[in-house]
Amino acid sequence: MRIGTARSSYRHDEALFDSRTQYAWLAILGVALLGFPFVADEYWLYLACLVAINIASATGLNILTGYTGLVSLGQAAFMGIGAYTVAAFEQKFGTPVLLNLLAGGFVAMLGGLVVGLPSLRVKGLYLAISTIAASVVLHFVFANWHSVTGGHSGITVAPAEILGISFDTSFRLYWLFVPITIMMVIGAANLFRTRIGRAFIAIRDRDISAEVLGIPLLRYKLLSFGLSSFYAGVAGGMWAYFFRVVTPESFPLLMSIFFLAAIIVGGMGTILGAILGAIFMTMVPEALKLIVGWLPLSTDATLILSPVRTIVFGALIVGFLVFEPLGLQEIWRRIRRFFHLWPFRA
Amino acid sequence: MDFDWLFLVEIFLAGLGAGGLYALTALAFVLIYKATRVVNLAIGEMLMIGAYLCFGLATAMNLPMWLAIVVAVIASGMAGAVLERVAIRPMLGESPIAVFMVTVGLASILVGVVELVWTSEPRRLPEFMPNTPVMIGEAFVPPKVFYGFLVAAALIAVALTVFRFWRGGVALRATASDQQTAYSMGINVPRVFSLSWTVAAMIAAIAGVIVGAVGGISSTMGVFGLSVLVVVIVGGLDSVLGALVAGLFIGVVESLAGGYLGGEYKLLATFLILIVVLMVRPYGLFGTHEIERL
Amino acid sequence: MARDTPLLVSALALAINAQHELAARKRQSAGGDKVHPGKVNPILEVEGLTLSFGGIKALSDVGFEVAPGSITTVIGPNGAGKTSLFNTISGFYKPSTGRIRFEGEDITATRPPARAKLGLARSFQNIALFRGMTVLDNIKLGRHTHLRTNVLDALFYFGRARREEMELRQEVEERIIDFLEIDHIRHMPVSVLSYGLQKRVEMARALAMRPKILMLDEPVAGMNREETEDMARFILDVRDEWGVTVLMVEHDMGMVMDLSDHVVVLNFGKLIADGTPAEVQANPEVIKAYLGSGDVSELRERLHQTVAVGG
């Protein structure tokens, strides 16, 4: 606990942010988020939007895998459901953007509930593998249900339009995505202050005890699946408005692995972990681009970029699992703790 | 309507051929699981490394194929031992999910390495198998598939006899279920770990060479591993016999799906079988049922 | 087994002696009356329970009653089926025959979460706390079934969820944390706590369920003298202040004989004695179960001899 922050009420003790220093930092973050789009160029705005989408999806996966302990390799597939729903609604009904996003979330949630149904009988690794199966089946559906998904060529998505303003640049999409993502993250944080979130953690740690305490396992596992795939669906919908084309190849198994890696690297089971992990994993390819560009190489740098990225990706997963299983958020916390005591350290 | 029996038979035989390779790779997987309790999702990539090492030795170093194969298999074995020592051993005692994710990471690294050295373009292995068409009755079997099947069958037969009659089979299971106790019983646990990964990598390499010979090699060969995953779930994660039976079964099913419905239905069929098996008999046909103690 | 008999004889002897120590305290707090099962409707009834695993019968035709407000203990040598009995009452094992009745209602077919909602709370032999959470969160989980926050409430938090959480927090702090004296560790992750404290947190969590009957599986296993006395004190207080019926499995004879109103003895899955502590102690079947068959006085002779020689 930070020095000099005595709590005077239970409400104070349970708050998300609880000291004046934290409020100050939050204010600075808020100002930074508001000011960023005005100082950043197209490239950085593009990245910011991508980061927002990834944070939303990673937070969703974290609820399922980090907090409830149900490993899923299907996050990309659920995003795909969300993306296709949004694309189809936009194309066929022309319904408002926010409604489309909600619809994307709901349809993805239904998918999540179906995939989660076996989770009572099928546990651990077997459940993870069944989510791979779900991904394969969904990919097949995306590629072959021509009437709805447009088959292999997919669907092109018109730019999002709200109140007559067309969101066709990264600058404009930023103002749509960032608030949505912030709401989703706060929602997740709130979840774990209540009995629902606690029940999820209980299921992860010792599901037999959870049952003895009266938590109906199937209902809560389904709830977790539903919630995390809702998040994925909304993130997928945002993805659709961002890239403006949705094809069956847009959401491969590799992307599910990307998100799983993001929460492992960031720190499973913590809200901050999903955020840090998503940011880190999105930035790493960009950082690699820079590094590879600087290196004096005889061959064309761009040729080796892709394989190097793949290797680094795998190495990050292995490295963090072996050396820092608590992830980036643990490193962050250690740095913070150091600075809490900094002037007084011997 | 005149049913095309010949077509069916040929599809069936092709399926058996593919199934034999699935069974062989599944054998490698089961060996790792039996000895170390690790679900190795990188098995497809280990297969790929074997194929590429062979390719590299044969083309870049101009070794005769037989020598290239032998050296590639041995080198793969060593690579397997290195992987185990560097990435798996430190994860001893961690949750199975974490170890599973480590193998996912390893798979990614292997794919990246292959793409770095050989680019992602598909290549062909130099020919080394007899080219004369093989006819079983009236049915035509691609020669490479046939000889590949023979090799796979031979290796599996050897494995089955070894596990049936070798004392070490028990040591293997002991190490997997309780490392501490196995250690105090005098079983050299680290050596069992290294050995199992080495041998498994070698088997995967052989499978890789055959798969490469049949269909060429590419950096996406690892997707073979997904079908093998289904095979071991259906057969039972720790059952050699299960690997054999399920391997052939899945091979035939995929072939039938591909032949009658179309190529894109292959993976779908395989995974639908997986879903059914997970619901009805999650421990597979021959796997041992783990009981949770309250 | 032969080597254990002197120990067990002395254990029983110690138990009889220790009884006098704590008996006075117990008489003070509980008003001294032993509760007679059968006079009031039993809160828990087990009838003709048989449980088999393949060919092995873990429980054979076990039946007894637990009176409301009593402290009932199940004892028996290792492997007698005590934990299996608990697991069956909790709902994890399905008995092949027999019924379980809670407050008159047949719960044999009810699933564990529903039994918790009815008021059946239980602790485990190996500590079953949730290691990823703090003490406070673990305790709050006990109240899960009685809370009503749903997902949408939870996501928005301000409003119903926060109100419920604050009420919960207040009640947990004032009634449970103070009662069990664990306020100094409330924010600590449970994994760093000592064994004795973890057991206490587990009891706190069980209490948060507002149970009608509290099933404790070896509550003082592995504890030293002081911790055992603390736990015994808490159990008595729980019964007296909260009106909770206690059903426990225990090996510590001193605690059993002194605390219990009613003792049930199992051996090889069968019920061999059922009555007050004094009755059970005198029961020859019980002595045979713990000490093996053979003449007791002859064994005593042999014991004196071995002790004299210098064993």
Task: Report CB contact under 8 Å: A213, C142.
Answer: yes
Q: What does the alpha-carbon distance between residue A225 and residue A195 come to, in Å, rounded to a whole number? A: 17
Q: What does the alpha-carbon distance between residue B20 and residue B26 come to, in Å, rounded to a whole number? A: 10
**Per-residue model confidence (pLDDT) at position A18:** 67
Contact list in A for residue C149 (CB cut-off 8 A) is 194-196
Q: pLDDT tens digits, residue range C29-55?
A: 444 444 444 457 888 999 989 988 888
Percent of chain A with pLDDT over 70: 95
Task: Spell out the domains of chain C, with CATH numbers in brackets.
Answer: 1-118+262-311 (3.40.50)
Which residues are CB-neighbours of C41 under 8 A, at least 6 positions away? C68, C103, C104
Nearest to C112 among A198, A212, A227 (CB): A212
Nearest to B109 among A129, A137, A314 (CB): A314
Confidence of residue B204 (pLDDT cuts 50, 70, 90): very high
Report the gap between the CA of A236 and the closest CA in chain B (Å).
Answer: 23
Which residues are CB-neighbours of A112 under 8 A, at least 6 positions away? A78, A225, A226, A228, A229, A230, A232
Contact list in C for residue A63 (CB cut-off 8 A) is none
Contact list in C for residue A191 (CB cut-off 8 A) is 151, 154-155
Q: What does the alpha-carbon distance between residue C170 and residue C189 come to, in Å, rounded to a whole number? A: 20
Which residues are CB-neighbours of A243 under 8 A, at least 6 positions away? A157, A250
Report the gap between the CA of C183 and the closest CA in chain B (Å).
Answer: 30
Task: Report CB contact under 8 Å: B97, A322.
Answer: no
For chain B, list the contacting chains (3+ Cβ pairs, <8 Å).
A, C
Report the gap between the CA of B95 and the closest CA in chain C (Å).
Answer: 14
Task: Report CB contact under 8 Å: B115, A310.
Answer: yes
Q: Coil, strand or helix: which one is A324?
A: coil
Q: Is A216 on the interface with C (CB under 8 A)?
A: yes
Backbone torsions φ then ψ of C62, nearest 5 degrees: -90, 130
**Per-residue model confidence (pLDDT) at position C34:** 46
Report the gap between the CA of C87 and the closest CA in chain B (Å).
Answer: 8
Percent of chain B with pLDDT over 90: 32
Q: What does the alpha-carbon distance between residue B72 and residue B74 come to, in Å, rounded to a whole number? A: 5
**Best of A18, A180, A209 to mutate (most C CBs within 10 Å, chain C):** A209
Give A243: exposed, middle or buried? Use CB within 10 Å, 0-12, 13-18, 19+. middle
Q: In the A/C pair of chains, how many CB contacts fall below 8 A? A: 110
Q: How many CA atoms lie less than 13 Å away from A194 in the CB half-sphere?
A: 26
Residue B184 has pLDDT above 60, yes or no: yes
Task: Report CB contact under 8 Å: B278, A118.
Answer: yes
**Per-residue model confidence (pLDDT) at position C195:** 84
For chain A, list the contacting chains (3+ Cβ pairs, <8 Å).
B, C
Residue B101 has pLDDT above 90, yes or no: no
Q: Is B101 on the interface with A (CB under 8 A)?
A: yes
Interface of B with A in 50-69 (CB under 8 A): none
Confidence of residue B239 (pLDDT cuts 50, 70, 90): confident
Tokens 């040591």, residue?
B171
Contact list in C for residue B294 (CB cut-off 8 A) is 83, 87, 92
Q: Is C143 on the interface with A (CB under 8 A)?
A: yes
Report the gap between the CA of A3 and the closest CA in chain B (Å).
Answer: 35
Contact list in A for residue C213 (CB cut-off 8 A) is none
Q: Is C160 on the interface with A (CB under 8 A)?
A: no
Q: In the B/C pair of chains, how many CB contacts fall below 8 A? A: 3
User: Do residues B175 and B36 lie in contact, with contact meaning Cβ atoms separated by under 8 Å?
Assistant: yes
Q: What does the alpha-carbon distance between residue A248 and residue A136 come to, in Å, rounded to a whole number? A: 11
Residue B268 has pLDDT above 50, yes or no: yes
Task: Report CB contact under 8 Å: A316, B229.
Answer: no
Nearest to A14 among C117, C130, C165 (CB): C165
Task: Report CB contact under 8 Å: C128, A208.
Answer: yes
Nearest residue in B to A133, CA atom: B271
pTM: 0.84
**Assigned token pair, A157:** 């998505």
Which residues are CB-neighbours of C151 under 8 A, at least 6 positions away? A191, A196, A223, A227
**Per-residue model confidence (pLDDT) at position C245:** 93
Q: Bigger pLDDT: A307 or B97?
A: A307
Residue B56 has pLDDT above 60, yes or no: yes
Task: Report CB contact under 8 Å: B274, A129.
Answer: yes
- The region of weakest confidence among A165-169, A176-180, C85-89, C95-99 is A165-169
Nearest to A212 among C90, C162, C166 (CB): C90
Q: Is B226 on the interface with A (CB under 8 A)?
A: yes
What's the mean pLDDT in B37-61?
90
**Per-residue model confidence (pLDDT) at position B240:** 85
**Per-residue model confidence (pLDDT) at position B294:** 43
User: Do residues A65 and A236 lie in contact, with contact meaning Cβ atoms separated by under 8 Å?
Assistant: no
Nearest to A194 among C165, C187, C205 (CB): C165
**Per-residue model confidence (pLDDT) at position A193:** 86
Percent of chain A with pLDDT over 90: 43
Q: Is B98 on the interface with A (CB under 8 A)?
A: yes
Contact list in A for residue B102 (CB cut-off 8 A) is 317-318, 321-322
Q: What does the alpha-carbon distance between residue C104 and residue C44 come to, in Å, rounded to a whole number? A: 8
**DSSP classification of residue C210:** -
Interface of B with C in 275-294 (CB under 8 A): 294
Task: Report CB contact under 8 Å: C155, A199.
Answer: no
Q: Is the ipTM of this complex over 0.90?
A: no
Task: Report CB contact under 8 Å: C92, A208.
Answer: yes
Contact list in B for residue A260 (CB cut-off 8 A) is 101, 104
Interface of A with C in 2-21 (CB under 8 A): 10-11, 13-14
Residue A102 has pLDDT above 90, yes or no: yes
Task: Spell out the domains of chain A, with CATH numbers in brackets.
Answer: 39-344 (1.10.3470)
Q: What does the alpha-carbon distance between residue B214 and residue B22 come to, in Å, rounded to a whole number? A: 13
Q: Taking an 8 Å Cβ-Cβ cutoff, which residues of chain C contact chain B?
A: 83, 87, 92
One digit per residue, the tens of pLDDT, for chain C of length 311 reads 445 555 555 555 555 555 555 555 554 444 444 444 445 788 899 998 998 888 888 888 899 999 998 999 998 888 788 888 998 998 888 888 999 999 888 988 888 888 888 889 888 877 788 888 889 889 988 888 888 888 887 888 888 888 888 888 888 888 888 888 888 888 888 989 888 888 889 888 888 888 999 999 888 888 888 888 888 998 999 899 888 999 999 888 888 888 899 999 988 888 888 888 888 888 888 877 776 655 667 667 777 777 776 54
Q: Bigger pLDDT: B174 or B101?
A: B101
**Per-residue model confidence (pLDDT) at position C33:** 43
Residue A303 has pLDDT above 80, yes or no: no
Q: What does the alpha-carbon distance between residue A14 and residue C270 come to, in Å, rounded to a whole number? A: 50
Report the gap between the CA of A140 and the closest CA in chain B (Å).
Answer: 7
Q: What does the alpha-carbon distance between residue A151 and residue B165 come to, in Å, rounded to a whole number? A: 53
Nearest residue in C to A220, CA atom: C151
Backbone torsions φ then ψ of A294, nearest 5 degrees: -75, -35
**Per-residue model confidence (pLDDT) at position B34:** 85
Task: Report CB contact under 8 Å: A317, B100.
Answer: no
Q: pLDDT tens digits, residue range A209-265?
A: 888 888 899 999 999 999 999 999 999 999 999 999 999 999 998 899 899 999 999
